[in-house]
Amino acid sequence: MAKQARSNGGAAGKHQQGGAVSNNSNTKRPWQPKGTKPGPASQFAGSKKRPAAGPPAAAAGAAAGAKGTDATRAAKRPKVQQQRREPVAAAVKGKQADKAVAAAVAAADRAKASAAVAKDAAKKAAAAAVDAVTVATATAAPGADGTTAHAAPAAGVKAAARGATAINANWQSLKEAVAAAKRPPPPEHIQKKIRRRQEAAAAAAGASAGDAAATAGGRRPGVVGSDTGLTKVLAIDCEMVGTGPKGSVSTLARVCLVNSSGVVLLDTFVKPKEKVTDYRTWVSGVRPSDVANGRPHEDVIQQVAHMVAGRILVGHSIGNDLRALRLEAHPRELLRDTAKYPGLMKELPGGRKVSASLKDLAATHLGLVIQQGEHTPVDDARAALYLYQKFHREWEAAVRAGNLTPVSGLGRSGKGDR
């Protein structure tokens, strides 16, 4: 029995000491706290000692340390970037401050210069006023003959006024110059437009000067009598515009009628029925606004027909005007065409005669200047009238003798030789 007990006790001792001999996890250990589940991991539950960390625990610690280092670097990165940006921002602010200071200094200099100019102008005005008062006081005293001079004070006051006006003009010019200097220059395409307009204005001024010089050498047709109503002899001239394809059809756009004194009885623009395709402004002087505001075509034709009925009608290449006015039925013996009168025609070397331009006839026979650029029907009608009046006796004698071929109301489109 004793032997059996020892063997049992030894087996139990081996089981309690090793803990690894038996694989039964439900075996109650004497040192295990009450209420805990038996098992290999709970054998240290009540003890301060902990099992040594194995390889998995070491890897987890290293990973946690790496994460902490990355977080620290990420937290420090914005501060480093901010420290790098601060010198650049400071330099930019310094440049902006320098520019602002320079602009302020320039503005102060301009203001100082303007103030100096204004001060000088005020001094000059005050000096001019003092001089005027001095002159007025000196000249207001009685002279040696007991008279008082009044013209000198007035002259002094006028001189002071002129001085003040000149100062004001200079001051205004200075202000405009300063304002223009402050304004930025316009873009290049705007500058090109301005230059083109200036060149066009200069060219127009040169052309006007040329016309004025030509007119100065001669004179334009004017009024030669006192009659203001309808007379036995009338002169007519029309200006045409082009309608149809490429403006090939001539249409009435302006008509002028003068009496034997050169007084204008009618001068009006006409609104064509057809669409205008060529205004011929360079020679006709007619513009879109003229025909747009012109009178109705039928009204003008009826008025002209009523005015010229039974009267001698003078013109240059008058057949074209009659056709435009639908006056082909006007008696041919009452028509006087300066383009067809033999005494006014040019003779070619072979003896053949051709029509001369109204411009040349007016310059040669009348000493008048017409058709300098755009035509004016008033001048053209007067020039034709005065040519007829100059050769009136010979002309009418030839008409009575039947030596002149009657003028036809039909002619080529356009005005022909003008």
Q: What is the pLDDT of residue 395?
A: 93
Question: Taking 70 as the threshold, does the pLDDT of residue 131 lie above it?
Answer: no
Residue whose pair of structure tokens reads 């001094």 in the numeric block: 123
Beta strands in 137-284 (DSSP E): 233-243, 249-258, 264-271, 276-278
pLDDT digits (tens, 9 = 90+) for 35-50: 555 555 445 444 445 5
Residue whose pair of structure tokens reads 């602002």 in the numeric block: 100
Q: State how beta strands 312-315 and 335-337 pair.
A: parallel
DSSP string of 274-290, one letter each residue: SPEEE--HHHH---HHH
pLDDT digits (tens, 9 = 90+) for 257-285: 999 999 999 999 999 999 999 999 988 89
Could you give the CA distance from residue 413 to residue 222 in angstroms, rounded to a whole number?
A: 29
Kindly state the DSSP code that residue 218 receives in the 8-state scheme: S
- Please give the residue that has the higher pLDDT: either 305 or 101: 305
Lowest mean pLDDT among 98-107, 172-181, 299-308: 172-181
Question: Taking 90 as the threshold, does the pLDDT of residue 381 lie above it?
Answer: yes
Could you give the CA distance from residue 277 to residue 254 in angstroms, rounded to a whole number?
A: 16
Question: Taking 90 as the threshold, does the pLDDT of residue 310 lie above it?
Answer: yes
Q: What is the pLDDT of residue 326?
A: 92
pTM of this prediction? 0.48
Tokens of 151: 């013209």
